[in-house]
Amino acid sequence: MIKTDFHTHSIASPDGSITSEQYKNLINSGVIDCVAVTDHNRIDFALKLQNDLGAEKVIVGEEIETTEGEIIGLFLTEKIAPYLSPEKTIEAIKAQNGIVYIPHPFETVRKGISRETLNRIKSNVDIIESANGRAFFQNFGPESHAWSHINRVASFASSDAHRSKALCKTYTDLAEYPNRKNILELCATARKHYSRPSLLDILAPKLNRIRKALNLL
């Protein structure tokens, strides 16, 4: 099985801290087989890491802030502008032949897409995150899983790691390395693994912002 994490944040994100070397070490040591780098509103770090390690092991993604919450685009080649409507954001992802992935749906503390919005755009959603590795105070995993089942939308588990030690603690096992052509077929046999986050995993984004403000990161 291919151990895959579809939602992670590098040091290029305002609240992330995972460096290129840390990604490379975790991949080369076999801790993780395939990772999507989904920085906030940018893809430059992901493109460089993919160039270094190859498209099989690194997926270029972007966690895009829309007017109604965050949407992730996977298998991107160009940055998508933030603050568009969900529909316009999805249109931009599809224009690149990308995959529409909904992170931490229904949450309010982390800019999740609301149930009303998700129901409105569901015909264009490819994958929903039914297990998020940082979900604690608002854990809508069971609701997300139920929504995916009722609406017949694929679901994955991802770490939402903002520090290297959280990477791939929550992840999805796939039968093959995912690409934009086979990813939806792989969903049928995917195995999701969830681990309860540590306090540092939960607080990592806030701590990283403070460290960067103090030039400590």
For the stretch 91-103, pLDDT in tens is 999 999 999 999 9
Task: Evaluate the CA torsion angle 176, 178, 182, 185 in order and state its sign.
Answer: positive
Query: For residue range 41-73, what is the model confidence (pLDDT) as tens digits?
Result: 999 999 999 999 999 999 999 999 999 999 999
Q: What is the mean pLDDT of residues 18-26?
A: 98
Q: What is the mean pLDDT of residues 173-185?
A: 97
Topology of domain 2-213 in CATH is TIM Barrel (3.20.20)
Q: What is the pLDDT of residue 7?
A: 98
Q: Per-residue pLDDT for 137 more than 90? A: no
Token pair for residue 80?
């998508």
Q: Per-residue pLDDT for 180 more than 80? A: yes
For 148, half-sphere exposure in the C-beta direction (CA atoms, 13 angstrom radius) is: 26
